Structure 1
Amino acid sequence: MTEKELLALLILQYTPNLGDGSIKKLLQHFGSATAVLEQKKSTLLKIDGIGEHKLKAFGDEEYHAFAKAELKFIQDNNINVCAFTDEQYPQRLKHCLDGPVLLFSRGNINWNNRRIISIVGTRKITTYGEHFIKKLIKDLAPLNPLIISGFAYGVDITTHKACIEHGLQNVGVLAHGLNQIYPKVHAKYMSDVEANGGFVTDFWSKSSFVHTNFLQRNRIIAGLSEATIVIESAEKGGSLVTADFANGYNRDVFAVPGRAEDKQSLGCNNLIKQQRANLMTSAADLIYILGWKLEQEQAPVIQKQLFVELTDEEKLVWRFLKGNGKELMDIIALNCKLPTYKIASILLQMELKGVIRPLPGKIFEII
């Protein structure tokens, strides 16, 4: 993207009343932001959905000055800018009607990763929530997903720290410009995140930092991801808004259940009860529903003294597969007299240990 085109996009974005949806419509009609700025208002008014109100401030030189100042900030601070029209714009976010026209980022982010999930939840995380996140990230690590979160207190920062520990790429979606960090106490983790991931936002450096920014930010968290996982949430909260966005984008949503009387689990329990989220008790649930499988070259090589390394239930499954050959997961569960949700977790652990491998159609065989 040329400097001239970026400046034109910034001008459009800063123009009051236009909004991301209207700007996208203009870009698709005229081909570029530069071309849009060259049009007369009378020409723009012919575009369906573009009325007088949206063009009231179009062409005002005052907004040009603000856009030039933001362009200088971007250039002086080596900010990466990705426009909705760019090929490198995250593909999943591109399919969201309310996705941002411009995405500002810093770090080393690989948007080509096929497996991108978001993890959200309460700021007042419990010991149960912390343990679940750490176990989840550890179990997902062999599949090398990109993890999205919000870099805030509680579930967010616990997720980022677990990703750093296991070498997983992780991205913090911010509710403010890249000229600051909130909360400031998390600044000590920034270099680790940027080394293997980074930060993204659609807010300018001059944007006011207000509470409603978090709700606007949540659409990006949901839009970037194949699935959104809610770890813990009270009856009301921002993570439930993120889940709503994900449902609206037709993405998978998962929620971790908690005890009926736990306030920090009310939101998750309601998502499951209202069938707005899949129940999630382990990484295996996500892997099964999303159809992920461990790449064969990642599977560790182990010795044939299998029973030394397997649990009793894993031994049961191994014996069944050894005697019957490759088989469907549901058939394995039926013959081993184990519930399907549990067999999914057992098969995942056996796959990670390198004793079985998945085949197309949820079929498994021993190695």
Structure 2
Amino acid sequence: MSLPGIEQVAFSKIKGITPETAGAILAAVGSEAEFFRMSERELAELAGAGSHIFAASYREGLLCEAEKELDFVARNGIRCLYFRNQDYPARFQNVPDAPLLIYAKGDTDFNARCAVGIVGTRHATVYGQKLTRDLVAGLGELVGKDVVVVSGLAYGVDVAAHLAALECGMPTVAVMAHGLDMIYPAQHRSVAADIVRRRGAVTTEYGCRTRVHRSNFLARNRIIAALSDCTVVVESAFKGGALVTAKVAQNYGRDVFAFPGRVGDVYSEGCNTLIRKNVAALVTSASDVVDMMRWERSAKPVEKSLFIEYTKEEQAVVDCLQGRDLVQINELSALLKMPVHKLLSVLFELEFKGAVSVMPGNCYRLV
């Protein structure tokens, strides 16, 4: 794995720099190394004006940061995708505020044929979780297992999208709002590890030691939109980060889709608004997304497994539901002699596997 030079990493750390500005500077000075070699006076003369980024102390600070960064990425097997290199995401080419460099842990091909951003509320309902699972599974069946699912590893819809991709054997990319020396939320560390192990990647524009800050999440949303051919909003309240991602994707000229919800449902209000304002096209299934994107469908449908593997607790729940129409959760808890809090966790996993469905009144039945 080849890493960029220290000058390239340092150059990418210039605050607020865009690919257009970076290209103009490099066209004038010749290379990143020259930018750091030249004196402040020489740079000002070339530019026709002074700038704080030409100050020797500022540039020395960038080189010092870059040296630490390169040590960290080398020790941790992290890829650096620089805007002048071949492995830089091609989808960034027409994004005016794309980062000059992103860091990635994992082997995902950022230039895969199809990439879909899936976003939504952190407070996903059962309806939203099921839509997310069905969407990802449907894309895998209709288009192929190489479709890359992009999201932000947050609670709710984000992590549901990542987990669905892992379940279907599809690569997924988690875009972080901090450096790769940590994972936020910490509860999703194991999910991040699975993503890296299974053809996915955890990626960020932020260097190590960058901590969680609210503004970083808003900036992170543009990376999700930029890495994706289209963005699907599954569930969202009237305000939220998912709506920001949708607007950014629209500004980038990318397709935006949203699932409709019932009038009056808090976490469908955002999606319904996007559809009503023609920001997003209404979709009800993976098939709708595939048709609107005009993605080529797989010549041979991917066969579903005939047998679902259950844990001991899951098998006990399935056996108990067998032959019954609807069973209320408290009744199920009594029948199984299993605490409700533990039963809820088992039922969630069974929902994810498509074995049970939840009905009004916290009633469950086999699918």
Output the amino acid matched with 1:239: A
Distance 1:57 1:114, change over 3 A: same
Distance of 1:59 and 1:2 partners within structure 2: 27
Instruction: Give TM-score scaled by structure 2 length.
Output: 0.75
Aligned residue for 1:64?
63
Q: Does 1:200 align with 2:177?
A: no
Distance 1:96 1:48, change over 3 A: farther
Output the amino acid matched with 1:187: R
Distance 1:285 1:69, change over 3 A: same
Output the amino acid matched with 1:293: E
Cα deviation digits, residues 200-234 of structure 1 (max 9, x gap): 10001121321111011111100011000001111
CA shift for structure 1 position 191: 2.7
Aligned residue for 2:242?
239
Identity %: 36
Q: Secondary structure of 2:295's match? A: coil
Q: Secondary structure of 1:162's match? A: helix
Distance of 1:186 and 1:74 partners within structure 2: 21
Distance 1:273 1:83, change over 3 A: same
Matches within 5 A, 1:114-129: 114-129=113-128
Output the amino acid matched with 2:190: K
Matches within 5 A, 1:135-150: 135-142=134-141, 143-144=143-144, 145-150=147-152
Distance of 1:242 and 1:46 partners within structure 2: 40
CA shift for structure 1 position 21: 5.1
Q: Does 1:219 align with 2:222?
A: yes
Aligned residue for 1:275?
278
Contact 1:17 1:54 in 2 (8 A): no
Distance of 2:167 and 2:59 partners within structure 1: 49
Distance 1:51 1:276, change over 3 A: farther
Contact 2:283 2:289 in 1 (8 A): yes
Instruction: Give TM-score scaled by structure 1 length.
Output: 0.75
Cα deviation digits, residues 99-130 of structure 1 (max 9, x gap): 11111001110223211110001000001101
* Stretch moving more, 53-62 or 74-83: 53-62
Contact 2:179 2:204 in 1 (8 A): yes
Distance of 1:236 and 1:193 partners within structure 2: 29
Distance of 2:124 and 2:291 partners within structure 1: 26
Cα deviation digits, residues 332-357 of structure 1 (max 9, x gap): xxxxxxxxxxxxxxxxxxxxxxxxxx
Aligned residue for 1:153?
155
Distance 1:19 1:97, change over 3 A: closer
Specify every segment of 5 or more residues in structure 1 that has no aligned partner in the other structure, as ranges. Answer: 302-367
Contact 1:15 1:57 in 2 (8 A): no
Distance 1:266 1:182, change over 3 A: same
Distance of 2:253 and 2:274 partners within structure 1: 15
Output the amino acid matched with 2:88: Y
Matches within 5 A, 1:315-330: none
Cα deviation digits, residues 289-347 of structure 1 (max 9, x gap): 11012132x3479xxxxxxxxxxxxxxxxxxxxxxxxxxxxxxxxxxxxxxxxxxxxxx
Distance 1:170 1:56, change over 3 A: same
Q: Does 1:177 align with 2:176?
A: no
Aligned residue for 1:293?
296
Aligned residue for 1:76?
75
Q: Does 1:113 align with 2:112?
A: yes
Output the amino acid matched with 1:23: A
Aligned residue for 2:260?
257
Cα deviation digits, residues 161-215 of structure 1 (max 9, x gap): 1111111111100111111101111112223211221111000112132111101
Cα deviation digits, residues 5-30 of structure 1 (max 9, x gap): 52112322334565665334323544
Distance 1:17 1:240, change over 3 A: closer
Aligned residue for 1:209?
212
Distance 1:49 1:76, change over 3 A: farther
Distance 1:289 1:215, change over 3 A: same
Contact 1:22 1:50 in 2 (8 A): no
Distance of 1:57 and 1:280 partners within structure 2: 54
Output the amino acid matched with 2:38: Q
Distance 1:60 1:170, change over 3 A: closer
CA shift for structure 1 position 57: 6.0
Matches within 5 A, 1:355-366: none
Distance of 2:278 and 2:260 partners within structure 1: 13
Output the amino acid matched with 1:132: L
Contact 1:230 1:255 in 2 (8 A): yes
